Structure 1
Amino acid sequence: MSKQKNKPWDEKWETIKSIGGGGQGDTFLVKPKDSTNLSQTFILKKLKNQKDPERRKRMHREVAASRTLDCPGIPRLMESNSDQFDSDVPLYMIGEFIEGKTLSQVVDTAPLMGIAEAVNLVLKLLETIQYCHNLGIVHRDIKPDNIIMRRDNIADPVVIDFGISFNESDAGGTILTEPWQQLGNRFLALPELQVNSSMQRDPRADITQCCGILFFAIVGSPPVTLLDHEGRMPHQRPESQKALSKIPSDLLAKVNRIFDRAFGTQIDYRWQSIPELQQALIACISANQSIHNAEQYIAQIQNKVSTSSDYAQRQSFKILAQQLVKELYNVSRTVAGELGKGFGTIHDAEAINLKSRSIDDRVKIDWAKLRFSQSHGITNEFSPNNFFPKFTGYATGNELVLLAEVNGEQVELLRTPLNGEPDLTALGERLRRFYLEGVRKLIGA
Structure 2
Amino acid sequence: MSKQKNKPWDEKWEIVKPIGGGGQGDTFLVKPKESAILSRSFVLKILKNQKDPERRKRMHREVAALSTLDCPGIPRLIESNSDQFATDVPLYMVAEFIEGKTLSEILDPAQPMAIADAINLVLKLLETLQYCHNLGIVHRDIKPDNIIIRCNDISAPVLIDFGISFNECDTDNTTLTPAWQQLGNRFLALPELQVNSSMQRDPRADITQCCGILFFAIAGSPPVTLLDCEGRKPHQRPESQKALAKHPDDLLAKVNGIFDRAFGTQIDYRWQSIPELQKALIDCVSATENARNAEQYIARIQNKVSTSSDYARRQSFKELAQQLVKELYNVSRTVAGELGEGFGTIHDADAINLKRRGIARVTIDWVKLRFSQSHGITNEFLPNNFSPNFTGYATGNELVLLADVNGEKVELLRTPLNCEPDLTALGERLRLFYLEGVRKLIGA
For this structure pair, what is the TM-score category when the shorter chain's length is used for normalisation?
Answer: 0.5 to 0.7
Question: Does structure 2 conserve the Cα–Cα contact (< 8 Å) formed by 1:170 and 1:176?
Answer: no
After superposition, the Cα gap between the structure-2 partners of 1:128 and 1:38, relative to the gap in structure 1 and judged at 3 Å, is same
| Alignment partner, residue 350 of structure 1 | none
The correspondence of residues 252-401 of structure 1 with structure 2, limited to 5 A, is 252-286=252-286, 289=290
* Counterparts of 1:138 and 1:200, CA distance in 2: 10
- Normalised by the size of structure 1, how large is the TM-score? 0.64
Residues 54, 176 of structure 2: 8 Å contact kept: no
Give 1:173 deviation, angstroms: 2.3
Deviation at 1:35, TM superposition (A): 2.6
Q: 1:134: which partner in 2?
A: 134
Cα deviations across residues 65-122 of structure 1 (Å, max 9, x unaligned)?
A: 0000000000000000101111110000000000100000011488310001100000
Percent of aligned positions with the same letter in both sequences? 80
* Inter-partner Cα distance in structure 2 for 1:188 and 1:109: 17
Structure-2 separation of matches of 1:292 and 1:153: 25
Post-superposition shift, 1:157? 0.2
Question: Aligned equivalents of 1:292 and 1:30: distance in 2?
Answer: 48
Residue identity opposite 1:125 in structure 2: L
Q: Find the aligned partners of 1:109 and 1:90 in 2 and give their Cα distance.
A: 39
Aligned partners of 1:35, 1:229: CA distance in 2, in Å?
59
Give the match for residue 55 of structure 1. 55
Do the aligned partners of 1:30 and 1:44 also contact (CA within 8 Å) in 2? yes
Query: Does residue 160 in structure 1 map to residue 136 in structure 2?
Result: no
Structure 1 stretches (4+) deviating beyond 6 angstroms? 290-293
**What is the Cα deviation at residue 276 of structure 1?**
0.6
Post-superposition Cα deviations, 1:334-380, rounded to whole Å, max 9, x if no partner, equal xxxxxxxxxxxxxxxxxxxxxxxxxxxxxxxxxxxxxxxxxxxxxxx
The alpha carbon displacement at 1:260 in A equals: 0.1
Residue of structure 2 in register with 1:220 after alignment: 220
- Which residue of structure 1 lines up, in the alignment, with residue 250 of structure 2? 250
Aligned to 2:97: 97
Q: Which amino acid aligns with 2:42?
A: F
Matches within 5 A, 1:64-143: 64-108=64-108, 111-143=111-143
Task: Quote the residue 1:6 is aligned against.
Answer: 6
**Residues 32 and 38 of structure 2 are in contact (CA less than 8 Å); yes or no, is this contact kept in structure 1?**
no
* Structure 1 residue aligned with 2:187: 187
**Corresponding position of 2:441:** none
Structure 2 counterpart SS, 1:280 = helix
Q: Which moved more, 1:11-20 or 1:134-143?
A: 11-20
SS, match of residue 254 in structure 2 = helix
| Cα displacement (A) at 1:136 | 0.3
Cα distance, 1:292 vs. partner? 13
**Bigger radius of gyration, 1 or 2?**
2
3-state SS in 2 of match to 1:36: helix
**Offset from partner CA, 1:114-134 (integer Å, 9 cap, x none):** 001100000000000000000
Query: What TM-score do the two structures reach when normalised by structure 2?
Result: 0.64
Alpha-carbon displacement from aligned partner over 1:294-333 (angstroms, at most 9, x marks no partner): xxxxxxxxxxxxxxxxxxxxxxxxxxxxxxxxxxxxxxxx
- Give per-residue Cα distances to partners, 1:367-411, cap 9 Å, x unaligned: xxxxxxxxxxxxxxxxxxxxxxxxxxxxxxxxxxxxxxxxxxxxx
Q: CA deviation at 1:176?
A: 3.0
Where 1:260 maps in the other structure, the secondary structure is: helix
Count of aligned pairs between the two proteins: 293
How far did 1:52 drift? 1.1
Change (3 A) 1:291 1:39: closer
Residue aligned with 1:158, SS: strand
> Which structure shows the higher helix fraction?
2
SS at match of 1:169: coil
Q: Hey, what's the Cα distance between the residues in 1 that align with 2:173 and 2:284?
A: 43
Partners of 2:89 and 2:173 lie apart in 1 by 21
